[in-house]
């Protein structure tokens, strides 16, 4: 009996395929437009470029996810096999001038190097693989994009809350488009306790770029309730906190880019939202294309 081959569907369900297809559809549209402006030097930047190493129970570490995951969720959370390979395997005219793949995992870096060696239609010198922290590399990218005629398409596709807002804000004023995955339901919401407790406060403040008091004011607005003992102040968590998480991050993105898309909601097998994929750009045409793709691939339409 032949062993069953792993597929994207086996690992993450339909939402994983939706995410990948949506992004690649945008890549094609982006490069189609960019090819009309040959004076631009294009950069593709993938901040979490793992090639699909499946997570096992040994990987349940708070330094990876910033929270503990249940065994039943391990099939929902993994490096999404395909983004690096799909972009590199696009044939002309869908090519960038430079490709940057960032990873911290040694095995993932080795896999990316093997992938680079298998690519014949792109000069290998244009495919750069770095074993570095994504935050520091985003700072370097921001500096590179200050040069005239450089433009970048950025994919930030982390498991958890590894991206600091300060790294994102460095991209203000650059010619860049970004797709970023927000771990809204699977990570952030879990760190916001029901009665005002904030787990991993330093991670929350770094992720949102907000102070503790700002986060508390958003998610735990003071209220007065009548009880048997009179009026008492409470700090209960707001209703629909995941919607608010996305709203706040969209608001932050608008301080860097003029245009921010509607989110693509990615749900697990129980139909619970676990991630939101958001696009941002200074280009209004890019926004129209992204919103079209997101609307077409949203849960209500698939």
Is there a contact between 267 and 274 (Cβ–Cβ < 8 Å)?
yes
- pTM of the entire predicted model: 0.86
- Cα three-residue angle 9-7-271, rounded to 5 degrees: 15
Where does the pLDDT of residue 302 fall: very low under 50, low under 70, confident under 90, or very high at 90 and above? low
Where does the pLDDT of residue 268 fall: very low under 50, low under 70, confident under 90, or very high at 90 and above? confident
Residue 301 has pLDDT above 60, yes or no: no
Please provide the average confidence, as pLDDT, over all residues in the chain.
85
Q: How far apart are alpha carbons 49 and 78 in whole angstroms?
A: 12
- Residue 10, pLDDT score: 33
- Residue 229, pLDDT score: 67
**CB-based burial, 195-227: b 16+ in 10 Å, e otherwise:** eeebebeebbbbbbbbeeeebbebbbeeeeeee
Is there a contact between 152 and 140 (Cβ–Cβ < 8 Å)?
no
| The CATH classification of domain 8-191+257-301, taken from the options 3.40.50.300, 3.40.50.1100, 3.40.50.2300, 3.40.50.150 | 3.40.50.150
- Residue 228, pLDDT score: 65
The mean per-residue pLDDT over the stretch 225-229 comes to 66
Q: How far apart are alpha carbons 178 and 33 in whole angstroms?
A: 16
- Residue 34, pLDDT score: 96
Express each pLDDT in 109-150 by its tens digit: 999 999 999 999 999 999 999 999 999 999 999 999 999 999
Residue 18 has pLDDT above 60, yes or no: yes
Using a CB cutoff of 8 Å and minimum separation of 24, what contacts does 120-125 make? Answer: 121/91, 121/92, 121/95, 122/88, 122/95
- Residue 56, pLDDT score: 41
Residue 63 has pLDDT above 80, yes or no: no
Side-chain half-sphere exposure of 19, counting CA atoms within 13 A: 30
Question: Which one has a higher pLDDT value, 243 or 14?
Answer: 243
| Strand 176-182 relative to strand 150-156, pairing | parallel
The full set of domain ranges for the chain reads: 8-191+257-301
| Strand 176-182 relative to strand 273-281, pairing | antiparallel
DSSP the chain: -PPPPP-HHHHH-HHHHHHHHHHHHHHHHHHHHHTT-TTSEEEEEESS----PPP-GGG--HHHHSS---GGGTTT-S--TTHHHHHHTPPTTS--SEEEEEES-HHHHHHHHHHHHH--SS-GGGEEEEES-HHHHHHHHHHHTTSTTEEEEEEE--SSS---HHHHHTTTTSSEEEEEEE-IIIIIHHHB-TTS-BTTHHHHHHHHT--HHHHHHHHS--EEEEETTEEEEE-PPPSSHHHHHHHHHHHHHTTT-SEEPPPEEEE-TTS-EEEEEEEEES-HHHHHHHHHHHHHHSGGG-
């Amino acid at each position: 009996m032949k062993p069953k081959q792993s597929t994207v569907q086996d690992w993450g369900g339909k939402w994983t395929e939706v995410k990948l297809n949506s992004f690649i559809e945008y890549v094609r549209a982006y490069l189609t437009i960019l090819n009309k402006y040959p004076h631009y030097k294009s950069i593709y930047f993938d901040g979490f470029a793992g090639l699909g190493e499946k997570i096992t129970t040994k990987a349940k570490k708070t330094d990876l996810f910033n929270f503990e995951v249940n065994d039943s969720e391990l099939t929902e959370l993994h490096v999404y096999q395909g983004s690096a390979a799909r972009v590199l395997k696009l044939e002309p005219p869908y090519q960038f001038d430079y490709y940057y793949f960032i990873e911290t995992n040694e095995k993932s870096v080795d896999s990316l190097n093997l992938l680079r060696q298998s690519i014949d239609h792109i000069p290998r010198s244009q495919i750069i693989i770095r074993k570095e922290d994504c935050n520091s590399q985003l700072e370097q990218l921001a500096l590179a994009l200050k040069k005239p005629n450089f433009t970048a398409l950025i994919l930030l596709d982390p498991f958890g809350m590894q991206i600091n807002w300060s790294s994102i804000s460095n991209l203000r004023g650059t010619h860049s488009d970004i797709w970023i995955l927000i771990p809204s339901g699977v990570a952030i919401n879990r760190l916001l306790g029901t009665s005002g407790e904030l787990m991993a406060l330093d991670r929350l403040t770094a992720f949102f770029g907000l102070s503790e008091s700002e986060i508390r004011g958003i998610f735990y607005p003071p209220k007065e309730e009548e009880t048997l003992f009179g009026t008492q102040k409470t700090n209960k968590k707001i209703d629909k906190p995941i919607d608010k998480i996305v709203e706040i991050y969209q608001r932050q993105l608008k301080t860097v880019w003029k245009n921010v898309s509607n989110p693509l909601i990615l749900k697990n097998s129980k139909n619970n939202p676990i991630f939101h994929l958001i696009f941002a750009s200074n280009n209004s045409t890019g926004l129209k294309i992204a919103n079209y793709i997101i609307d077409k691939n949203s849960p209500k339409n698939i």
